[in-house]
Amino acid sequence: MRKFWLLFSQAVTVFLAAYFVVATLKPQWLNQRPSLNAVSVLEAPASGSPKTGPVGSFSAAAKVASAAVVSIITSKAAANHPYADDPWFKFFFGDQAGRSEPQVGLGSGVIVSPSGYILTNNHVVESADDIEVVLNDSRRARAKIIGTDPDTDLAILKIDLDKLPIIVLGNSDALQVGDPVLAIGNPFGVGQTVTGGIVSALGRNQLGINTFENFIQTDAAINPGNSGGALVDTQGNLLGINTAIYSRSGGSMGIGFAIPVSTARQVLEGIVKDGQVTRGWIGVEPQDLNPELAETFNIKAKNGVIITGVLQNGPAAQAGIRPGDVIVAVDGKSVANVTELLGAVAALKPGVAAPMTVLRKDSKTEIAVTPGKRQRPRLPR
């Protein structure tokens, strides 16, 4: 029995010694499993979960949104001299005298529908004789103008292509100053470019750019060629249409303006469904309230828009609004200046009464006004 136990102990000793040598010199022979930390790193890609960029990267948002942002190339026929083809004119001034080159423009747009509808700026396609759209995947197509809205500087184009990438419309009303945003477009024709920044301000108006102004201000670089491009959030959702910049040099100075997607959605739906954008109108002459006007009309209000004139038999006059009234809210939305009043009234549906909060001397009252349809101003001939 003692001999057997001695042999067993010697065998165990030899086995342990061999295991120690192999584990030290050739650990791979033992087919060791990696540690818990190694499993989480090495096996994560095999699980099928998508790879993400470094912390703070917006690469995923840029990839999603960029596919739906297009370049728009416009051309306008040359305006030649009326005698450019006259033989005597050519004899004295040369064959090329009086002839002009076609005007070529460059902008951006955003595909918002599988049917091929594209949002862009009106000033990008205005007066164009030919419009070509270039997708991010290099496909090209001729575009036709479905409708324009100069009051907001928006236009709707349409192309006929299959399997179009579309952008998701976000919620611009939920934006806050400081939120990160990306601007995507084709600045200076160098190719699609993504720039980043934050929302610098909201509700910018009285800039003299459009009739209806409610701009998102951003410091994301916007340059010529970016007009009509996308302003997106960190998920790649559309927040606005890049429209204008403040610049002394012609390039970006960190002050860019985008039309909120809430406005763009209204224009898109109006043009696609009805062929035009329908806006409300009440027939008043408003002015921003100031101490001089308050003293003239003997009112104590400090905020709101004072009505200095009312169109006879217009919607406001029929509802009982009078000169000297101060409108402080339209359909429950407060208004502090003429631009806000204009936008709030324009958002009303013609023919449907809406409440307006009015200050008349020392009393506050609500007046139901049934707006009419705002007509586009006629251009002088």
pLDDT tens digits for range 68-80: 999 999 988 765 5
Dihedral sign of CA atoms 130, 275, 262, 248 in order: positive
Mean pLDDT along residues 49-60: 66
Of residues 229, 205, 217, 221, the one with CA closest to residue 176: 217
Tokens encoding 39: 């499993």
Cβ atoms of 245 and 252 closer than 8 Å: yes
pLDDT (0 to 100) of residue 4: 58
- Given 66, 71, 108, 123, which residue is catalytic? 123
pLDDT tens digits for range 108-159: 999 999 999 999 999 999 888 899 999 999 999 999 999 999 989 999 999 9
Full set of structural domains in the chain with CATH: 57-277 (2.40.10.120), 280-373 (2.30.42.10)
Mean pLDDT along residues 266-294: 87
**Given a cut of 50, is residue 47 above it in pLDDT?**
no
Could you tell me the pLDDT band of residue 250, with boundaries at 50, 70 and 90? low
Could you tell me the pLDDT band of residue 45, with boundaries at 50, 70 and 90? very low
- Non-local (6+) Cβ contacts of 276 within 8 A are 147, 270
Cβ atoms of 341 and 303 closer than 8 Å: no
pLDDT (0 to 100) of residue 193: 92
- Does residue 76 sit in helix, strand or coil? strand
> What is the rounded CA–CA span in Å between residue 314 and residue 292?
27
Q: What residue has token string 């460059």?
A: 106
Mean pLDDT along residues 8-35: 56
- Given 219, 227, 233, 325, which residue is catalytic? 227
5-26 per-residue burial string, b: 16 or more CB within 10 A, e: under 16: eeeeeeeeeeeeeeeeeeeeee
Is 153 one of the catalytic residues?
Answer: yes
- Given 153, 219, 233, 325, which residue is catalytic? 153
pTM over 0.75: no
H-only helix segments in the chain: 2-25, 36-42, 59-66, 87-93, 122-125, 261-274, 291-296, 315-319, 338-346
pLDDT (0 to 100) of residue 288: 86
The neighbour count for residue 267, using CB atoms within 10 Å, is 25
- Does residue 355 sit in helix, strand or coil? strand
Is 130 one of the catalytic residues?
Answer: no
pLDDT (0 to 100) of residue 343: 85
Is 227 one of the catalytic residues?
Answer: yes
For the chain, how are helix, strand and coil distributed in percent, rounded to 5?
Answer: 25, 30, 45
